Amino acid sequence: MKPRTTIVILLVVLLMVVMSACGNSADTTTTGASAQTTTTAAEAMGCSAGQVDGDLNFYNWSDYIDPDLITAFQDQYGVTVTQDFYESNEEMLAKIQAGVHYDLIVPSDYMVGIMIDDGELMKLDKAALTNLGNLDPQFVNMPFDPTSDFSVPYQWGTTGLGVDLAVVGEDHPYSWGIIFDPAMNQGHQVSMLNDAREAMGAALKYLGYSLNSTSLDELQKAADLIKSAKDVIVTFDSDNYNDNLINGEVSISHGYNGNFFTAFDSADNPDQYEYFMPEEGGTVWVDNMAIPANVDHPCTALTFINFLLDAQNGAQLTNYNYYASPNAAAKEFIDPDILGDTAVYPDEETMKRLEFIEDTGDFEINYTDYFTQAKS
Amino acid sequence: MNSGTRPKGLVERLLAANSWIVYTFFYAPIFVLVFFSFNDNRNVGVWTHASLRWYGELAQSHDIIRSVRNSLIVATVATIVSTVIGTAAALSMERFRYRGQRTYDALLYLPIIIPDVTMAVMMLLFFVQAFGITNNLLGTRIELGLGSISLAHIAFDISFVAVVVRARLAEMDSSLEEAARDLYASRWQTFRKVTLPLIMPGVAGGALLALTMSLDDVVVTSFVTGPGSTTLPVYVFGLVKRGVTPLVNAVSTLMLVASMLLVAGSLFFQRRSRATGRGGGTVET
Amino acid sequence: MSVETGPVSPDLERAAERAERRRGFRLGLPGFAYLVIFFAIPLVMVFVYSFATRSSTGKTLLQDWNLNSYRRLAESIVVQIAWRSLWLAVLATVICLILAYPFAYFIATRRPAIRNALLVLVMIPFWSNFLVRTYAWRVLLGSDGPVSQLTSLLGLGETRILFTPLAILIGLVYGFLPFMVLPLYAAIERIDWSLVEAARDLYASGWQAFRRVTLPLSRPGVVAGSILVFIPSLGAYVTPEILGGAKTTLLGSYIVQQFLAARNWPFGSALSFAVMAVMLAATLIYFREGGRTL
C-alpha cells in the first residue's frame, strides 16, 4: 500500500505544478486557443465586405432567428450554417471559456461587457460591415461597448409578464405583485425565468430597489420574496414560458415580450392572453452579435452580421420574432401592427421605469448564489 | 423448484397481480408516447386527430439527421474499441496473476460507480486542459467535438464490457482451456478455439451494454460536445427543454423501434448460435 | 496448473511463472493505460480544481490554492440539497425493491419457457433509450395530460403532478426499476430450492421458509440491485431536469449549474468529488455487508 499512496501523492503534486505553470503563462484563462490575448481581444483579420471563409458555426438563443433568413444566407453565399442553442448568457460564456469554437454568438448587453473585459471577443472589422449606417444612433456606442468595436445590436426588448386573462381576469393589477403579493397571487400558477439576473431583478423592482443592486441585504430580501412565493411558482423555465402559458400549465408567465407574441399568435384564442410591463418597472435589454476571439471563420461571421444589418433582413427578423429592431432603416419594412404596439416598442413614459442589466463585477456571483438559495 | 416450493393459492395470485401491475407500469408510458406521436395537435397531451406531420417534419430536419449520424459514429467507435479493450482487460484479470491487479480491479470498477455528472465534469476539465496544452505546444486547433465524445464514452464503456465478460469467464469451466493446453494448443489457438467461443455471449452482452450506454448518454456528452457534434439524446434533451411538441414523440418512437429491433436481433443471433453449438453455455459432455 | 510427470527445475518453473505474469500484464495494459489517461488523471484534475480560485468573472485560476470550496460544502443550502437528494434516492431504491422483489420472484418461479418470454419483456424497456422513457412521463403528468384527464373523469378534478418532487420520484423509479429487477432475478433464480424444501419438511410455514431461507439467500441480488438504483438516483440530472421544473434543486442539477450558470468550477469540482466519495463509501460498506460482487 505505502509505495502506491506515495505515487498518487507525487502525481497530484506534479499535476498541480504543471497546471499552475501552464495557467500562469500569458493569461490565467483555461481557454485553449487564444493564448496571445491579454487585455484586448485579438485584432480582426482583414475581411472585405461579402467575403466568406468557410461555414458558419452559429451559437444563438433558441427560436431567435427566422429559418428563412438562414436559408437565404446559405443560398446567397454558398456556405452552410450550423446552429447550436443556449438557454442563458452564462451557459454560452461557460462553453466559450471552455475553448469551444463558435464563429458568431449573441450575448446580451451586460455579457458583452464581461466578455470584452476578459478578452474573449474579436474586434470587428468595420470595413466589412457596410450596412452599419442602418443602425438607430441610440444603439451605437452603448455603455457596455463604448466604441462599438466588439458588438452589433441584434434585437432589443423587455422582460415582463404574460397572463391568461381567463384566469387572472381582465382587470388584474399591473404589478409584479400578482406573483409576490399574497393578497394578489391566490390561485395562480406562475412560471418565472430560470435566470438569476431576471428573476432576482423582478423581485428587486417589486421591492423598489434597482435591479443592478450591489447590496447583499437587498438581494437577501429579493431571494426571500421569491422563496415565499414558491407555492404559486410552478416552475423556473427560460424556454417554455410562452408555451406553458398557452397550453394552460401556468396562468402567469415571466418572459421576453417577443416570444410571447409569437405564442399568442399560434394560440386558439389570441385575445385571451396579454403581455404587459408591471408598473414598478423591469428589464429592457439589447442582444448583440459578437465574434469570439478564437473564431475559425471570421469573414463569414462578419458577412452574416452585415447580412442581418440589411434593412429588409432586419425587418424580416422583427416580423418573425416580434422583438424590436435597433435598425432604423428597417422600420419601413416592419409590419405596422408591430411598430405601433407599445408592448414591443414601449413609450417614453414606460422606458423611464426600465433598466438595462449591468455587470456588477465582483458582486455578480451573489445573484446566482442567492437565486439558487431562493429556488431550493 | 418443484410443487413443494412453488407459491400457491392466494400468494400465487397476488404475485401474478403484482406482475401485471409492473408490466403495465413499464409499458403504458411507452404506448402513450407512441400514440401521441401521431397526434395532429401541437399540444402534446391533447388528442385532436391522427396525422403523420411530425414524422414528416422529422425527416426534413437537418439537425435531427445530423445528430443521428453523430450518435451512430460515436456509438460504433466506442463499442468496438471498448469491447476489444474490455475483453482483454477481463481476460487479464480472470486468467492471470500479477502485481498491481488490485489497483486495476479498483480502476475497472470506478467508472461504473461514479455518478455521470462527476464523469462529465472530469472529462470537461481534462479535455479543456489537454487541448489547451496541445494547442499551445503544437499550434493545433483541436477542440471539443466527436473525438472528445468518443474518448469519453470509451472510458466508461470499457468497465461495463469488462464486468460482463468477467462474470462469464468466472462462470466458465476453465478446465476446458487447460485440456486444450495439454493437447499442445498454443495460447492463441486456445483463445481462438476454446475461450472465445465460450465467452462469446458475454462479449456480445458486453458490447450490447456498451452500445446502449453510449446511445443513452446525455450528461457526459453535453459537457464535452462542440459545435455541430450534438448527438441524438443531447438534441432530444434540448428539444424537451426548449419546447415540447409531438416532434419529440416522433423521434422517441423511432428510437424505441430501433431499440426493439436491436433486442430482437441480438436474441435471434443468440438463439441461432446456440442451435449451431457455437457460443452456447457450457459444452455438453 | 497442468499436471506434469517427473521433476521440473525450479528455475524453469519460476521463469515460466514470470512469463505468465508478463503476459497477463501486457494483455491488460491497453485497458489500464486508457483508464489511467482518460479516467484516473481527469479524476485527479477534479480533485485539484476543487482547491482552485474563481475569478470575479467566473474563470478558474489555478493559483491561490485554498479550501474555500470545501468550506462551502457545509453551508446550509448545500446540506439541504444533499439531504433532499439522499432522501429521494433512498425512497426510489426502497420503492423499486418493493415493486421488483415480488416481480422477480414471480418470474423466477415460472417454467423456463415462460420465464424467458417474461424476461424479454423486461429487457425491451431496459434497452430502450433512458431519455425517451423519462420523457414519456412528462407527457403523462402534464395538467392536460392523460393522467390528469383520467382523474378528471373519476371526478377528482385536474391534477398536475408534473414539476413536483413526486414526478421526479416516479421518473426515477420508472427509469431504474429494470436495474433492480435483473440482479434480483439472477440471485433468486440461482437459489438452491432443495433448501427451501428442507425447511418445509421441518414444518416451516411458507412464510417462515421465505423469511429464513429464501430472503437471506437472495441478499446478493438485493445488494446489487439497491446499489444500481441508489447511485444513479443520487446523482440524477436528466430526470429532475425533465420532470422537476427547476423548482426542486437536486445534487445533479446543482453541480451542473456550477459549471454552466454560476461558472464556479472550483466549487462544482468540490461538489462532484464529495458526491463521488460518498457513493464510493456507500458502495464499499454495502459490499462488505452483501458479500458477493457484481
Kindly write down the DSSP assignment for every residue of A77-97, as one continuous string. Answer: HT--EEEEEESSHHHHHHHHH
How close is the nearest chain B Cα to the Cα of C65, in Å?
17
CB atoms within 10 A of CB A332: 10
Contacts of A35 in chain B (CB under 8 A): 135-136
Give the span between the Cα atoms of C204 and A92, in whole angstroms: 66
Sort out which chain A residues have CB atoms less than 8 A from B46's CB and list them.
Answer: 247
| Topology at the third CATH level for domain A158-284+351-375 | D-Maltodextrin-Binding Protein; domain 2 (3.40.190)
Bridging pattern class, strands A104-105 and A56-61: parallel
Element (H, E) at A304: helix A298-309
Which residue ranges make up each domain of chain A? Answer: 19-156+286-346, 158-284+351-375
- Chain A interface mutation, best of C163, C243, C269, highest count of A Cβ atoms under 10 Å: C163
Taking the Cβ of residue C139 and every Cβ of chain A, the question of whether any pair is shorter than 8 Å is answered with no
Mean pLDDT of the residues in chain B: 83
Exposed, middle or buried, A117 (CB in 10 Å: 0-12/13-18/19+)?
middle
Query: Does any CB of chain A come closer than 8 Å to the CB of residue C64?
Result: no
pLDDT band of B62, cuts 50, 70, 90: confident
Please tell me the distance in Å from A199's CA to the nearest CA on chain B. 18
Q: How confident is the model at residue B71 (pLDDT cuts 50, 70, 90)?
A: very high
Chain B residues near residue C2 by CB distance under 8 angstroms: 178, 181-182
Using the 8-state DSSP alphabet, how is residue A328 labeled?
Answer: G
Q: How far is B235 from chain C (nearest CA, A)?
A: 11
Q: CB contact, 8 Å: B85 with chain C?
A: yes
According to the model, what pLDDT value does residue A9 have?
63
Check residue A104 and give its pLDDT: 95
Contact B178 C132 (CB under 8 A): no
Tell me whether residues A4 and B242 touch, CB distance under 8 A: no
Q: Which residues are CB-neighbours of A2 under 8 A, at least 6 positions away?
A: none
Distance CA A159, CA A172 (A): 18
Using the structure block, give the residue that is written with the C-alpha cell 497442468: C2
Could you tell me the maximum CA-CA distance found in chain B, to the nearest angstrom?
75
Chain C residues in contact with A90 (beta carbon < 8 A)? 58, 260-263
In a mutational test of the B interface, the residue from A27, A30, A70, A82 whose CB has the highest number of chain B CBs within 10 Å is A82
pLDDT band at B56 (very low <50, low <70, confident <90, very high): confident
d(CA C224, CA C201): 31
Do A19-156+286-346 and A158-284+351-375 show the same overall fold? yes
Distance from CA of A278 to the nearest CA of C (A): 24
As given in the structure block, the three cell numbers for residue C31 are: 485497458
Q: Does B196 touch chain C (CB under 8 A)?
A: no
Q: How confident is the model at residue B2 (pLDDT cuts 50, 70, 90)?
A: low
**pLDDT score recorded for residue B274:** 62
Cβ-Cβ contacts under 8 Å between A and B: the total is 72
In this complex, the residue of B43, B136, B227 whose CB is nearest that of residue A247 is: B43
Smallest Cα distance from B212 to chain C, Å: 7
Residue type at A140 in one-letter notation: V
Closest Cα to residue B272, out of B203, B191, B206, B201? B201
Residue of chain B whose alpha carbon sits nearest to that of A21: B133
What pLDDT does residue B46 have? 67
The C-alpha atoms of residue A313 and residue A155 are separated, in whole angstroms, by: 12
CB-based contact B133 A22, cutoff 8 Å: yes
A-chain residue closest to C76, CA distance: A373
Interface check C287 vs A, CB under 8 A: no
Confirm or reject contact between C263 and chain A (CB < 8 A).
yes
The tens place of each residue's pLDDT in chain A, 376 residues long, gives: 445 555 666 666 666 666 655 543 323 333 433 333 333 344 456 788 888 888 899 999 877 898 899 999 999 999 999 888 887 788 888 888 877 889 999 999 989 998 998 889 999 988 888 999 999 888 888 888 989 999 999 999 999 999 999 888 888 889 999 999 988 888 889 999 988 899 999 999 999 999 899 999 999 999 999 999 988 898 888 878 888 888 888 899 999 988 888 888 878 888 889 999 999 999 999 999 999 998 889 999 999 999 999 999 999 999 988 899 999 999 889 988 888 888 888 888 888 889 888 888 788 888 988 998 888 7
Q: Give the residue from A34, A108, A220, A375 with the most C CB atoms within 10 Å of its CB, the best one to mutate.
A: A375
Tell whether C140 lies on the interface with A, counting CB pairs under 8 A. Answer: no
Q: Are A258 and A141 in contact (CB under 8 A)?
A: no
Tell whether B244 lies on the interface with A, counting CB pairs under 8 A: yes
Q: What pLDDT is stored for residue A35 in this prediction?
A: 34
Site of grid cell 419438511: C201
3-state DSSP of B11-59: HHHHHHHHHHHHHHHHHHHHHHHHHHCCECCCCCCCCCCECCHHHHHHH
Q: Which residues of C touch A365 (CB under 8 A)?
A: 54, 56, 58, 262, 264
Complex ipTM: 0.83
A-side interface with B, Cβ within 8 Å? 4, 19, 22, 30-33, 35, 57, 59, 62-63, 82-85, 87, 98-102, 239-240, 243, 246-247, 266, 296
Give dist(CA B230, CA A83) in Å, integer: 10
State the Cα–Cα distance between residues A197 and A218, nearest whole angstrom: 13
Query: In this complex, do A84 and B230 lie within 8 Å of one another by their Cβ atoms?
Result: yes
Backbone angles phi, psi at A134, to 5 degrees: -70, -15
Mutate to test the interface with A, among C247, C255, C267 (most CBs of A within 10 A): C247
Do A32 and B136 count as a contact with CB atoms less than 8 A apart?
yes
Shortest CA distance from B229: residue in chain A: A84
Bridge partners of A82?
A: A57
Q: What is the pLDDT of residue A239?
A: 78
Measured between CA atoms, the residue of chain B closest to residue A236 is B241
Interface-testing mutation among C29, C60, C131, C230, with chain B (most B C-beta atoms within 10 A): C131
Taking an 8 Å cut-off on Cβ atoms, the answer to whether A364 and C57 are in contact is yes
Q: By three-state DSSP, how is residue A327 classified?
A: strand
Residues 6+ apart with CB under 8 A from A358: A109, A110, A113, A143, A144, A212
Q: Which of B31, B58, B91, B118 to mutate to test the interface with C (most CBs of C within 10 A)?
A: B118
d(C-alpha A108, C-alpha A357), whole Å:
9
Cell numbers describing residue A318:
422583427
CB–CB contact B215 C129 (8 Å)? yes
Select the residue of A32, A87, A247 nearest B132 (Cβ to Cβ).
A32
DSSP string, chain C: -----S---HHHHHHHHHHHHHHHHHHHHHHHHHHIIIIIHHHHHHHHHTTSEE-TTSPEES-S--SHHHHHTTSHHHHHHHHHHHHHHHHHHHHHHHHHHHHHHHHHTS-HHHHHHHHHHHHHHHHS-HHHHHHHHHHHHSTTSHHHHHHHHTTS-----TTSHHHHHHHHHHHHHHHHHHHHHHHHHTS-HHHHHHHHHTT--HHHHIIIIIHHHTHHHHHHHHHHHHHHHHT--HHHHHHSTTTS--HHHHHHHHHTTS--HHHHHHHHHHHHHHHHHHHHHHHHHH-S--
**Amino acid B283: pLDDT:** 35
Measured between beta carbons, the chain C residues lying within 8 angstroms of B190 are none
B102 compared with A35, residue with greater pLDDT: B102
- Residue from C128, C141, C92 nearest C242 by CA: C141
Q: What are phi and psi of C260, to 5 degrees?
A: -105, -75
C249: which chain A residues are within 8 Å (Cβ-Cβ)? 372, 375-376
DSSP of A130-169:
GGGGGB-GGGSS-TTSTT-SSEEEEEEEEEEEEEEHHHH-
Q: Are A104 and A301 in contact (CB under 8 A)?
A: yes
The three cell numbers locating residue A307: 447580412
pLDDT of residue B43: 67
Q: With a cut of 70, which residues of chain C have pLDDT below it?
A: 1-6, 289-294
CA–CA gap between residue A250 and residue A84 (Å, rounded): 28
Minimum CA–CA partner of A118 in chain C: C57
Q: Which residue of A4, A100, A240 is in closest CB contact with B143?
A: A100
pLDDT digits (tens, 9 = 90+) for B116-166: 888 998 999 899 889 888 888 887 777 788 999 999 999 999 999 998 898
Integer Cα distance of A220 and A233 in angstroms: 18
The CATH architecture annotation of domain A19-156+286-346 reads: 3-Layer(aba) Sandwich (3.40)
Contact across the interface for C129 and B256, Cβ inside 8 Å: yes
H-assigned helices in chain B: 9-36, 53-60, 62-95, 101-113, 116-138, 146-171, 175-182, 187-190, 196-216, 219-224, 232-242, 246-275
- C193 and chain A in contact, CB less than 8 A: no
Contact B22 C279 (CB under 8 A): no
Give the total residue count for chain C. Answer: 294
Q: Are A27 and A37 in contact (CB under 8 A)?
A: yes
Query: For residues A79 and B178, which has the higher predicted lDDT (pLDDT)?
Result: A79
Q: Note the pLDDT of residue C189.
A: 83
Chains in contact with A, where contact requires at least 3 CB pairs less than 8 Å apart: B, C
CB contact under 8 A, C62 and A94: no
* Chain A contact probe: residue of B62, B103, B143 with most A CBs at under 10 A: B143
CB B73 within 8 A of CB B146: yes
List, in sequence order, every residue forming a beta bridge with A284; answer none if it has no partner.
A158
The grid cell for A198 is: 431576471
Cβ burial, residue C112 (10 Å; 0-12/13-18/19+): exposed
Q: Which of A11, A97, A372 sits opposite C77 (nearest CB)?
A: A372
